[in-house]
Amino acid sequence: MLTLKTISENPELVIKKLAKKHFDGKEIIEKVLDIDQTRKKTQTTLDASLAESNSLSKHIGQLMKEGKKTEAEAAKNRVSELKSENKILEDALRQAEQDLQDLLVLIPNLPADEVPEGRTPEDNVVERTGGTIPDLGKDALPHWDLAKKYDLIDFELGVKISGAGFPVYKGKGARLQRALINYFLDKAREAGYMEVQPPYVVNAASGYGTGQLPDKEGQMYHATLDDLYLIPTAEVPVTNIYRDVILEEKDFPVMNTAYSACFRREAGSYGKDVRGLNRLHQFDKVEIVRIDKPEHSYQSLKEMVAHVQSLVEELGLPWRILRLCGGDMSFTSALTFDFEVFSAAQQRWLEVSSVSNFESYQANRLKCRYRDADKKIQLVHTLNGSALALPRIVAALLENNQTAEGIRIPDALVPYTGFEFIN
Sequential pLDDT tens for the chain (423 residues):
999 999 999 999 999 999 999 999 999 999 999 999 999 999 999 999 998 888 888 788 777 777 777 878 787 888 888 889 999 999 999 999 999 999 999 999 999 999 999 999 999 999 999 999 999 988 999 999 999 999 999 999 999 999 999 999 999 999 999 999 999 999 999 999 999 999 999 999 999 999 999 877 788 999 999 999 999 999 999 999 999 999 999 999 999 999 999 999 976 555 557 899 999 999 999 999 999 999 999 999 999 999 999 999 999 999 999 999 999 999 999 999 999 999 999 999 999 999 999 999 999 999 999 999 999 999 999 999 999 999 999 999 999 999 999 999 999 999 999 999 999
Neighbours of 16 (CB within 10 A): 12
Asked whether residue 71 falls in the same domain as residue 204, the answer is: no
Asked whether residue 192 falls in the same domain as residue 58, the answer is: no
Query: Considering 48, 78, 104, which residue would you say is the last residue of a domain?
Result: 104
DSSP conformation class of 212:
-
Asked whether residue 97 falls in the same domain as residue 198, the answer is: no
- What residues make up the domain containing 348? 121-422
Query: Considering 71, 104, 137, which residue would you say is the last residue of a domain?
Result: 104
Burial state string for 60-78 with b = 16 or more CB within 10 A and e = fewer than 16: beebeeeeeeeebeebeee
Asked whether residue 50 falls in the same domain as residue 181, the answer is: no
Percent helix / strand / coil, the chain, rounded to 5: 45, 20, 30
Asked whether residue 303 falls in the same domain as residue 372, the answer is: yes
pTM of the model: 0.93
Asked whether residue 185 falls in the same domain as residue 317, the answer is: yes
CATH classification of the domain holding 202: 3.30.930.10
DSSP string of 334-378?
Answer: SEEEEEEEEETTTTEEEEEEEEEE-TTHHHHHHT-EEE-TTS-EE
Alpha-carbon span 333 to 127, nearest angstrom: 18
Give domain status of residue 304, yes or no: yes
Q: Vertex 364, ends 362 and 370: CA angle to 5°? A: 100
Q: pLDDT, tens digit, for every residue of 206-219?
A: 999 999 998 777 88
